[in-house]
Structure 1
Amino acid sequence: MKVSYIAVCAVLVLLLAEAHITVAVTCSPTELSSCVGAITSSTPPSKLCCSKIKEQKPCLCQYLKNPNLKKFVNSPNARKVASTCGTPIPKC
């Protein structure tokens, strides 16, 4: 009985060690403010901009559905910045 209890505990420890914690993203377009310079000029995006685009990727379709945000998110420069960061804007 003790052997099976130890085996179960060992398996649980291994499973928990391999589990990935999923953190919900809070969709906030202001999180992309570090990208404004790259979108409005020809400067390359910063590392912070790229990390924020990757973080906000699950929200991009939501932003595209918002008429106030669509013109910014869907602009050619915004698409170029996102693509440069390795996170192209999805087709929604």
Structure 2
Amino acid sequence: MKMKSLLLCFMISSSLLLMSFAAAKAVTCDPMQLSSCADAILSAAKPSAACCAKLKQQQPCFCQYAKTPSLKGYINSKNGRKVAETCKCLSCC
């Protein structure tokens, strides 16, 4: 009986720990955080390291951005896809 209680306690603790890590990785979708990518998207320039870092941070938001009328033209543009590919931030929506 004691072993079962110990195992149950371990399982609950592990679950809570995993849930806290998932919550810590939550991203606030803010397209303005991608302003460092503007030159690369608008002029086909090579994306900066800062741009790639922000793209990776905002990657969970790409599908939302792709559905937003004011943003989808940039996200789905040839240069937008090229920047995402260069930064290794491909998304499947």
Shorter chain as normaliser: what TM range?
0.7 to 0.9
Identity of aligned residues (%): 48
For the residue of structure 1 that corresponds to 2:28, the secondary structure is coil
For the residue of structure 1 that corresponds to 2:44, the secondary structure is coil
The correspondence for 2:78, drawn from 76, 79, 90, is 76
2:30 matched to which residue of 1?
A: 28
- The 4+ residue runs of structure 1 with deviation greater than 3 A are none
CA RMSD of superposed structures (Å): 2.7
Q: Read off the aligned partner of 1:78 and give its amino acid letter.
A: G
Measured in 1, the distance between the counterparts of 2:45 and 2:69 equals: 26
Q: Which consecutive unaligned segments of at least 5 residues does structure 1 have? A: none
Indicate the structure (1 or 2) with the bigger Cα radius of gyration.
1
Contact 1:38 1:44 in 2 (8 A): yes
Q: Which consecutive unaligned segments of at least 5 residues does structure 2 have? A: none
Q: Read off the aligned partner of 1:38 and give its amino acid letter.
A: A
TM-score (norm 1): 0.74
What is the number of equivalent residue pairs in this alignment?
88
Contact 1:83 1:89 in 2 (8 A): no
Deviation of 1:46 after TM superposition, in Å, equals 0.5
